[in-house]
Structure formats: C-alpha cells, structure tokens
Chain A
C-alpha cells in the first residue's frame, strides 16, 4: 500500500472522527454552529437603522420673529433633527435634556431678525452633548449646515437687492466651494461600519473558544492530563493534528460564507467586493486562527476555561484592529501587538474587499501577514503536539 495514500486515509479518518465528536457535544455545537448563525443576525438587527433620524432637539427662540421661525422650520425639515420642544429658558431645556427627551439645544437670541435685516452678525447657539458621540455629531453638523444655508440665503437676498447679477451670487457668498464626497459608506451607517469587523472577529473568537473547549474537555475527562487516544498513537499524531485542523477549517469556511456572503446580502449591506476574492482571502485567516487555537487549546484544563479567558479579548482585538481608533493614535507597543493577532489583518482585509471594493492586490499586505502568522502558528502548534506525543511515548515506555 502506498504510504502517502495511507496517510491521507488516516487524515480523513481523524477529520470525520472529529466532526462526529463535535456534533455530539452540545457545548461545541453551540459555539461552532449556533453562535455564527445568531450573533451576526443580532448585531445587524440592532444596527438596522444605520443612522440617526429625526433626533429630537429643543429650541429656545427668544426673538420670536418671522425670520427666526423660518430658520427653525428649516431645522425641523432636516432628516436628522426634529424640533421636539420649544421652550423659553435654558433651565427648562436642560431639564428636558437630563430626562432624555431631547439630545441638543439650539438658541436664537433676541434681536436675531433685527441683526439680519440691518446686516449685523446674527448669532445662533448650538449646544451639543460631547459625551455621546453620535448625538454630538448629528446635532452639531446639522445645525451648522442649516445655519450656513440660512446665512447664504440672507446674503443672496441682500446681494440681489444691491444689484449683483444672479450668476455671481455663489461666488460672492461662498468663494471657495468644498465639494465633499464621502466614499464607501456614504451615509455613515453604523451597521455598515461595524458589521464587517464584527463578522471577521467572530470567526477567530469562536475558533479560540470552541477549540479551547475541546482541548479543555479532553483534559477534564482525563484528570487534567493530555492523553492521546490509542487510535491516535497507532495511526500517528500528525494525521490526527491535520485531520482535526481540516475539520475546523471546513466548518469555519462554511460559517464565513454564511457571514460574509449570505448575511451581508440579507441585511443589504453595501458590498462592493466579489465573493471569490473574499473567500480566497479568508483561507489564510481561518487557517491562522485554527492553528493558533489548536496550539492554545492544549493548555486548557477544563471545559469552560477558554470562554472565561478569551471572551473579554474580543474588545481588545476589535480596538487594536484600527477600525475604530485610528492606528496613527496608537502607542508603538499596540501596533506590534496588533500585528501578531490574525483578526487585525482579517478585519482590515475584509473591510477593504467588501466595503471599499478592493481586489486581492490591494490586500496583499494583509495576505502576507496572514500567511506569515499561519506558518508561525502552524509551527508552534506542531511543535506542541509533537512534544505532547513524545511525553506520552516516554511515559508509556516506563
């Protein structure tokens, strides 16, 4: 019999054996099959609305003139803000704010109309909440934009009255016109922002926790020792190692397909990349995560240990990926730490492919990093399994 064929047969044998034991273990099924199904759907549900609409604000209109009412109507007509309360003093507005009835305060001082008509500078006050970033941004940008548009209208009227031809109006009002084009996620949708990162991170975290649980269960049922089953010592630990890796790889490539192709279409996230590139990119990402997880799994001593120790790390890995806090603001140590975590490159690459619509050449730095990590974690895992099998052989000889 051909030894290579024999080897492949052993690998396939262990792969199916592993699949069988995964399916039989409800704890692992929950992590490998149920979690990838429900997690992304839940997140997509929470962030479904993507952006804030008609955020309630209070207006203090002390001028109470035709002009000031026009401005307030303009504000109310925007898609992002709605004038929910009209109050007379600041204290009242503050109370509404503290009771979460409104998320910002706009003030128009007495004499607003007079100033506008006389050509004096008229003031509009915008009070936004710096402790809730989305509210802050929405209130400030909408009010500023509306104020500038209103001011442009005032200028236009005056210029027309003084005899400036209409064709020159824009040049007078706004000599330098900034044409601002947000790319990739034009409306700044929160789901589109976070979902690709969460989906990529989920793959690595579920592998770490799931394979860790398999490792922990192994030791817990062998009184804390790592004991290779007889069939493994007979057929060779390397086939066992490769067979298991193969099973995890296939399960998570399937999960990836669901996460990045099905869910993204389902919740109508803007996808610009092509599915083949995405799946090709995910090969080294899933492999690197599998080998890292297999290596670490040999250290766990009980079933829930991997969950206890890895759950919090999702936060750490998400923030070092640079998707939220820009890498330029990282202290040097964090850049180095980010590099050795597969999810950093996985998240960056997936965002480029899926959202920016880049092709595989644009993710070459990420691919290089992932294949390097793959090689590193493969070597450490193989060394660790070899060491464990040696230990057992020595033990058996005694």
Chain B
C-alpha cells in the first residue's frame, strides 16, 4: 500500500475527494451540472404559473342570440381557448379522445326558447377528468361562467317583476360563498410543484453521489488505504470523505432556495434559517443513509440500486401531490421513514404557513434521528473496509 503524504489527515482526506471529483465527470455531473440543469428546466417549464388557453370545443346547436352570447362569454375567459370546428357532438367527442381538447360544451337546440319562456335551459359539459390539472381548470371556469349567466338572467327577471336592483340580486343569490385561499392565494403551480420537486431531485443526486463516493473504496479495493489516511479512525475517514460532498450539495441547495424564495418570490412567512438548516440536515441524512447501505450490503452496486428505489419513491410518498391523509395507513407510516417527507413538511410549514421557530426546531430534531443509522454502522463499516474479501464486487 502506497500512501501519499498529501492525503493524510482530515484536510488530506478532503483533498483526496476533491481530486476524485476533478477526475470523475459523472460525479461532477451529479454534483453540479445536472442539479443546476433541472433547476433551469423546472423553473422554465412552470413559468406560466397557471395554464391559459386550454382548448375547449363548443358545439352550438341552438345558434341563437343567447347561445352566441354564452359562447362569447366563454371565449373571453383567459383560461379557455374555444374550438368551434365541430358542428356535431360526435366529432367533438372524437377530438376529446384524441386529446385535441380537454372538454366539450354543448348548447342544445331550444336553449334560448327555454330562457325566454322562463323555463330552465340546459347546457351540457363533457370534460376529460383523466388529465386532472387542465380538466379542473376548464370545468371550474365553465361552471363559474354558467352560474354567472344564470344569476344574470334571474336578476333580469326579478327586475322585470318590479324589484329594485338590490333586492333582485338578493333574491337571485340568497347565499354568497366568500372563498379565501390561504397560503398560496393565486394557486400558483410554480410555487406548489417546483418548491417540492427541486428538493426531491436534490435527494436523488445526494443518494447517487453518496453511494458512489463511499462505495468506490470497496469496489476499487482502497478501503484500507482510506482508513490509513485517517489514522485508522472511522469517524475521521467518514467526515473527511463526506464533507466536500455535503458542502457542494449545500451550495446547490442554497441556490435552489434562493431561486425559489428570492427570485421567484415563493412566500416565506417563517424562518429562512430553519428552512436552510433543514435542507442541510436532509443532505446529511441522505449521505448517512448511503453510508449505512454500503456498510450493511458491502456492495456499491446493490447499495446504489436500493438508494435509487428510495430516491424515486420519496416524492410519491411525501404527500405533496397525493396527500398523506388519503393514503392507506401503512403507506403514510412508511412515508415517515423518508427524510424528504420531513424536510418537505418543515419547508412548507415555514414558507407557506409561517409556523413558529419552535415548530421548526421540532422538525429539525426529528430529522436528526436519521443520523443514528450511520453512527450505528461505523463498526460494521470499519470491519468490511479492512477485509479484502469485500473488495472489487460488482
């Protein structure tokens, strides 16, 4: 075993990793280039914040002044883009199946007649509920518009019956819903999705890099060498190795949060310091998980595969898209074993809900629990590093 002086000691161990990073393109990709690329990707993809101009077919079989008025009103809604190419409901349905439109509004014959006679007029809407986000926006917009038109007609009738405008409105609309959206008032998808996706991607990169950085000592059979540089002290070896990665990922994570909170103006009602600490802690937790996986599997490839499964599932289990409250109990329990779930909750609590500093500290304490895993794995790691029978496994 040939030891280089420059790699000895704590600083030397860090230098050793730095040289590895400089010599390994894949590491650099996972540490810096890809994390920054996905930042650019997702902030650009969701730039619109709220989708507009969603295609909606309208089939006007009535073709009257009133039905045309409804069509014009629909056309004025910014969320919608009316497609008037279909004269038959069947053609509109085919367009819906072909995903050319998100829905169809059908104004049947006799629409105007019914209104003029004081009867209830029907309008039909078919929408593609498989595509949740656009269909939700389209159906909400059409619902709101027809309700507005209905109230308008009722008010007009009451006016004709001799009401004052005020009482005409009151009679037409006895209950008013005052909707107040808390925390993300414009229901901005950029705030909601990108704030969750970015740390989810970060934990994937941390797991991949962590598994490789530690696992390579076994694969390359340099375990003894690594320990020797650290004066045979496992804790020194681990800290010296992982600190450079933790630092680089911290910088990347701080850039993520800065883009979110400073540049994109995602609200931050709580403590920014608690949020950033949570982020750094999440990075450390995942490096610890990599360490634990390598220690007990003694195989880089296997550990990285398991990390891949963990990393890919974290987002689904975090409850950001489909809430924990709707999952089977086992699933919401499993979700507690992902550090990402806890970071996401901490971040959302601080940023959107303005939770207290103490609430944040409790979250931090919870995440610290994950650090027990690597500490308990130190003796095992030391054992396998010194044993050449674990070396070179693919």
Chain A interface residues toward B at CB < 8 A: 26-27, 30-31, 35, 42-43, 45-49, 51-53, 55, 97-98, 103, 116, 119-137, 140, 143-144, 147-148, 150-151, 154-155, 158, 168, 170-186, 188, 190, 192-194, 209, 217, 220-221, 301-305, 307-309, 311-312, 314-316, 319-320, 323-326, 328-331, 333-334, 348, 351-352, 355-358, 362
B211 surroundings in chain A (CB, below 8 A)? 304
Given A131-B191, A175-B121 in contact, is the A151-B173 Cβ separation under 8 Å? yes
Given the interface pairs A55-B325, A126-B177, A358-B97, the reply to whether A42 lies near B171 with Cβ below 8 Å is no
Q: Given the interface contacts A55-B325, A176-B123, A358-B98, does A121 sit within 8 Å of B170 by beta carbon?
A: yes
The answer to whether residues A329 and B179 also contact, given A27-B394, A307-B304, A311-B312 and a CB cut-off of 8 A, is: no
Chain B 327-338 interface 0/1 with A at a Cβ cutoff of 8 Å (1 = within): 110110000000
Q: How far is the CB of A59 from chain B (nearest CB, A)?
A: 14
Chain B residues closer than 8 Å to A192, beta-carbon distance? 130
B29 within 8 A of A: yes
Q: Are B352 and A188 in contact (CB under 8 A)?
A: no
Indicate whether B353 reaches chain A with its CB closer than 8 angstroms: yes
**Does B124 contact A181, Cβ atoms closer than 8 Å?**
yes
Which residues of chain B are within 8 angstroms of A173 by Cβ–Cβ distance? Answer: 154
A126 touches B178 (CB 8 A): yes
- A99 (CB) vs chain B CBs: closest residue: B359
Query: Which of A151, A178, A209 is close to B125, meaning CB atoms less than 8 Å apart?
Result: A178
* Binary contact track B121-165/A, C-beta < 8 Å → 1, others 0: 111111111111111100100110011011001100100000000
Do B331 and A308 touch across chains, with their CB atoms under 8 A apart?
A: no
Cβ contacts under 8 Å, A125 to chain B: 178, 180
Q: Please, how many angstroms separate the alpha-carbon atoms of A184 and B201 in the complex?
A: 31
Q: Does B87 contact A (CB under 8 A)?
A: no
Chain B interface category by residue count: 35 or more
Q: Interface digits, B185-204 against A, CB 8 Å rule (1 contact, 0 not)?
A: 11111011100010011001
Which residues does chain A contribute within 8 Å of B205, judged by CB atoms? 312
Complex interface: stretch among B50-58, B249-257, B271-279:
B50-58
Q: Using Cβ atoms and an 8 Å threshold, which residues of chain B touch A193?
A: 130-132
Q: Determine the distance from Cα of A320 to Cα of B41 in the docked complex, in whole angstroms.
A: 10
Residue ID in chain A nearest B149 by CB atoms: A176
Give the distance in Å from the alpha carbon of A103 to the alpha carbon of B302 in the complex: 41
CB–CB A150/B175 < 8 A = yes
- Are A119 and B170 interface neighbours, CB within 8 A? yes
Tell me the complex Cα distance, A374–B338, Å: 38
On chain B, the residues within 8 Å of A325 by CB distance are 45-46, 51, 133, 189, 193
Q: A122-B176, A133-B192, A320-B45 are in contact. List 4 more A-B contacts (CB 8 A).
A: A98-B359, A125-B178, A172-B154, A348-B99
- Among B240-248, B316-324, B376-384, the stretch that binds chain A is B316-324
Known: A121-B176, A126-B179, A325-B51. A179 touches B132 (CB 8 A): no
Distance in Å: Cβ of B378 to nearest Cβ of chain A: 24
A205 nearest CB neighbor, chain B only? B312
Q: B126 and A98: CB pair below 8 A?
A: no
- Of B9-17, B112-120, B222-230, which stretch is located at the interface? B112-120
- Secondary structure of the B contact surface, majority rule: helix
A-B contact pairs, 15 of them (CB 8 A): A46-B317, A52-B323, A124-B175, A130-B183, A130-B192, A135-B323, A176-B115, A181-B126, A193-B132, A194-B322, A304-B304, A311-B312, A320-B45, A326-B51, A333-B44
Residues on A with C-beta less than 8 A from B304 are 304, 307-308
Shortest Cβ distance from B44 into A: residue? A331
Interface positions of B from 98 to 113, Cβ below 8 Å from A: 98-99, 102
A309–B30 CB distance below 8 A: yes
CB pair A179–B34 under 8 Å, yes or no, is no
Residue B2 lies at the interface, judged by CB distance under 8 Å to chain A:
no
Q: Point out the residues of chain B lying under 8 angstroms from A182, CB to CB.
A: 127, 129, 135, 139
Report whether A175 and B348 are in contact in the complex, using a CB–CB cutoff of 8 Å: no
Candidates B70, B122, B130; contact of A351 at CB < 8 Å = B130
If the complex has contacts A177-B120, A308-B208, are A123 and B178 also in contact, measured as CB distance less than 8 A?
Answer: yes
A103, A119, A183, A188: the one contacting B167 at CB < 8 Å is A119
Determine if A328 and B55 form an interchain contact, defined as CB atoms under 8 angstroms apart.
yes
Is the CB–CB distance between A362 and B128 below 8 Å? Answer: no
Could you say which residues of chain B place their CB within 8 Å of the CB of A348? 99
Known: A176-B149, A183-B128, A309-B26. A147 touches B177 (CB 8 A): yes
B327 and A46 contact, CB distance less than 8 A: yes
Of all chain B residues, the one with the shortest Cβ separation from A351 is B130
| Residue with the greatest number of chain B CB neighbours at <10 A, chosen from A49, A133, A309, A358 | A133
A186 touches B129 (CB 8 A): yes
Contact B174 A151 (CB under 8 A): yes
Q: Across the interface, do A132 and B187 meet the contact criterion of CB distance under 8 Å?
A: no
* Minimal Cβ-Cβ distance residue in A for B49: A329
Q: Which residues of A contact B197 (CB under 8 A)?
A: 315
Given A45-B331, A177-B123, A329-B51: A136 in contact with B26 (beta carbons within 8 A)? no
Q: Which residues of the partner chain A approach B170 to less than 8 Å between Cβ atoms?
A: 119-121
Complex-state Cα separation, A304 to B174, whole angstroms: 65
With A and B bound together, what is the CA distance between A194 and B98 in angstroms? 19
Known: A179-B125, A188-B132. A123 touches B176 (CB 8 A): yes
Docked CA distance A316–B126 (Å): 30
Q: Residue B153 contacts which of A136, A170, A176, A209 (CB distance < 8 angstroms)?
A: A176
Is B355 positioned at the interface, with any CB of A under 8 Å from its CB?
Answer: yes
A73 shortest CB reach to chain B, Å: 15
Q: Are B129 and A323 in contact (CB under 8 A)?
A: no
CA distance A147 to B115 in the complex (A): 24
Residues of B within 8 A of A334 (CB): 44-45
B237 within 8 A of A: no
B301 touches A323 (CB 8 A): no
Q: Is A178 a contact of B130 with CB atoms below 8 Å?
A: no
Tell me the bound Cα distance from A126 to B178 in angstroms: 6
Residues of A within 8 A of B353 (CB): 97-98, 131
